[in-house]
Amino acid sequence: MKREVAEELENSSFHYAQSHQNDPLGCAVAKEVIAILSEENWVERGDAVGTYFLEGLKWLGEKHAIIKEVRGRGMLLALEFNSHKKLSGTMVYRALVEQGFLVGYSQAGNMLRFDPALTIEKEDIDHLLECLDNILESEG
């Protein structure tokens, strides 16, 4: 902030305070969330589902030459595309959106990013992979 603005605030009656700093309710909620994640094995489930998703993306990478690289860890995964005359990452992204999938996209990196919720089911991953395979088949 500019010095003039800071001085004006310091000389005024305005005072800022965080309303939830050191709030026991917030701490109790965070503690309960951590307990549920642990008790219900959500971290382990996320690892297993992420591995399943990554294997599906690797299968697509082996099948379609337009895929330059498949990478990921846990539930954060990515597909990077090679330059292609008839198909681009932008086109794949738009086709997925039209089919109801919201994924991350980096035009500069020519890459799709997947970071699904821990609650995603394998059937939903299978549906996404099938749609992605069909898009790459029809356009590639």
Q: Look at residue 37 and tell me if it is in a domain.
A: no
* pLDDT single digits (tens) 110-137: 899 999 999 999 999 999 999 999 999 9
Q: How many domains does the chain have?
A: 1
Helix (H, G, I), strand (E, B) or coil at 37: helix
Q: Look at residue 17 and tell me if it is in a domain.
A: no
Please tell me the predicted confidence (pLDDT) of residue 89. 84
Please tell me the predicted confidence (pLDDT) of residue 139. 64
Q: Look at residue 2 and tell me if it is in a domain.
A: no
Sheet of 76-81, strands arranged across: 67-73, 76-81, 111-114, 104-106
Q: Look at residue 25 and tell me if it is in a domain.
A: no
Domain membership of residue 131 as a residue range: 42-139
H and E: helices and strands count for the chain: 5, 4
Q: Look at residue 73 and tell me if it is in a domain.
A: yes
At 20, the pLDDT band (50, 70, 90 cuts) reads low
Rounded mean pLDDT of 26-34? Answer: 91
Average pLDDT, the chain: 90
> At 90, which CATH number?
3.90.1150.10
Q: Look at residue 109 and tell me if it is in a domain.
A: yes
The whole-model pTM stands at 0.76
What is the share, in percent, of the chain residues with pLDDT greater than 70?
A: 94
Q: Look at residue 26 and tell me if it is in a domain.
A: no
Q: Look at residue 92 and tell me if it is in a domain.
A: yes
**Token duo for residue 43:** 């971290």
* pLDDT single digits (tens) 41-56: 999 999 999 999 999 9
